[in-house]
Amino acid sequence: MSNQKIHPSAKPVTIVSGFLGAGKTTFLNALIAFYRANGKKLLVIENEFGEQSIDGELIVDAGSDIFEFSNGCFCCNLNEELYDLLRELWQRGNTFDELIIETTGIADPATVAVPFLTDPSINRYYRLERVIGVADACLIEATLAQAKEAGRQISFSDILLVTKTDRVTQEQTSDVMKLLQHINPFAKILTGNKTSGYPLQEISGFIRTEPTTTAPPETAPDHGHHHEHHHHHDHHDITSLSFVFADPIDVEKLEYRLMLMLTLQSENIYRVKGIIDAGNKKIILQSVAHYLAITEGKDWLPGEERKSRIVFIGKGLKAAVFEKILEQCIRKAAPLKKQS
């Protein structure tokens, strides 16, 4: 469990993902222009799949440094060049204010986020503030049905930006927003398009924190004295399972079992996130690709209801299996000694 202190001058990081043709580059141009207008110097890392880079030429802002990785995809291989570049950029000194990484259309943003959440040599100097998933209002349902990468992108995003809303009706936009919220109950859902613009002030001010929506409001009432019953949603074979436990959780047991699950079912588990009651402090857990990041959160507030809340998002997840594994991690109260 990490308690590492972040460097006081650590650089904020934004990851922008989204399936092919969703409008990432159009949105990124708008975001860069917004930051520049507010006096910020940006560094942009482009990761384009294939040997010939095109997206870098489509970024029109000349006031930002752009580094391109066009021969190798972060989603397929944690490119050592990325680690080396991040370290080199820090050693250069204070030459930029924020870092933005635009992934390829087929990338899993969780894989790109790995160094920022799990590598002490990186996350001391760079703090991941937001993962933005761009979703095409016209095509996202069809994309989800055809490409598992789209489901992973939605599952790991902190902000889901529905683009091209000027090409669909308000009702269709609302349906897409509901779909995305059911798949990823953590995410903030926003809309925008090239014509009327994007909610850039809201996006730039958003910072990922402890999960606040770890169970849909439809979660059933208490089921026995140990936990509340799970609730799940299924969309395009993507399942969202929510569990709430009233009793404290053994974090070591939970870590071991979740790591085993992530190793054996890495293709099916897209995301795990939750708040764990392990004593006076909250414990924050989240999966990053097949890694599990566990960190100390804030203290429980006086009078705050202490419950562990965990959500799993993935493909074809079986609720009974996860429920059984989690129940094995509940701390059992020691039996009372008989008074003589």
What CATH number corresponds to the domain at position 118?
A: 3.40.50.300
- Looking only at the bridges linking them, the beta strands covering 159-163 and 42-47 are unpaired
Shared domain check, 241 and 201: no
What is the domain range of residue 302?
222-327
Q: Give the count of beta carbons closer than 10 Å to the beta carbon of residue 280.
A: 8
CA-to-CA distance for 201 and 184, rounded, in angstroms?
A: 22
Looking at the structure of the chain, the number of domains it has is 2
CA angle 75–211–278, rounded 5-degree value: 110
* DSSP E strand boundaries for 27-64: 42-47
Q: Which of 60, 193, 75 is nearest to 134 (CA)?
A: 193
pTM of the complete model beyond 0.95: no
CATH of the domain at 300: 3.30.1220.10
Would residue 92 count as lying in a domain? Answer: yes
Task: Say yes or no: 164 and 265 in one domain.
Answer: no
Contacts of 157 (CB under 8 A, 6+ apart): 17, 109, 131, 132, 133, 184, 187
In this predicted model, what pLDDT tens digit does every residue of 7-51 receive, in sequence order?
888 999 999 999 888 999 899 999 999 998 999 988 888 875 444
- Could you tell me if residue 231 is inside a domain? yes
My answer on whether 260 and 185 are in the same domain is no
Both 42 and 185 in a single domain? yes
**pLDDT tens figures, 284-307:** 988 877 788 888 888 888 888 888
What tens digit of pLDDT does each residue of 119-136 get? 888 988 999 999 999 999
If asked whether residues 322 and 292 sit together in one domain, one would say yes
Predicted local distance difference test score (pLDDT) of residue 83: 82
At residue 229 the predicted structure's pLDDT band, cuts being 50, 70 and 90, is very low
**Scanning the structure block, which residue is given the tokens 């995301």?**
271
Within a domain: 288: yes
The average confidence (pLDDT) of the chain is: 80
Percent of the chain with pLDDT over 70: 78
Do 137 and 261 fall into the same domain?
no
Look at residue 340 and tell me if it is in a domain.
Answer: no
Among the candidates 205, 232, 267, a domain finishes at 205
pLDDT of 211:
54
- With contact defined as beta carbons under 8 Å apart, do 266 and 272 qualify? no
**Do 231 and 133 sit in the same domain of this protein?**
no
Q: How far apart are CA 291 and CA 100, in angstroms?
A: 22
Do 44 and 69 sit in the same domain of this protein? yes
Q: Are residues 147 and 104 in the same domain?
A: yes
Would the pLDDT of 338 be above 60? no
Say what the pLDDT of residue 77 is: 47
Residue 257 lies in a domain: yes
Residues 176 and 276 in one domain: no
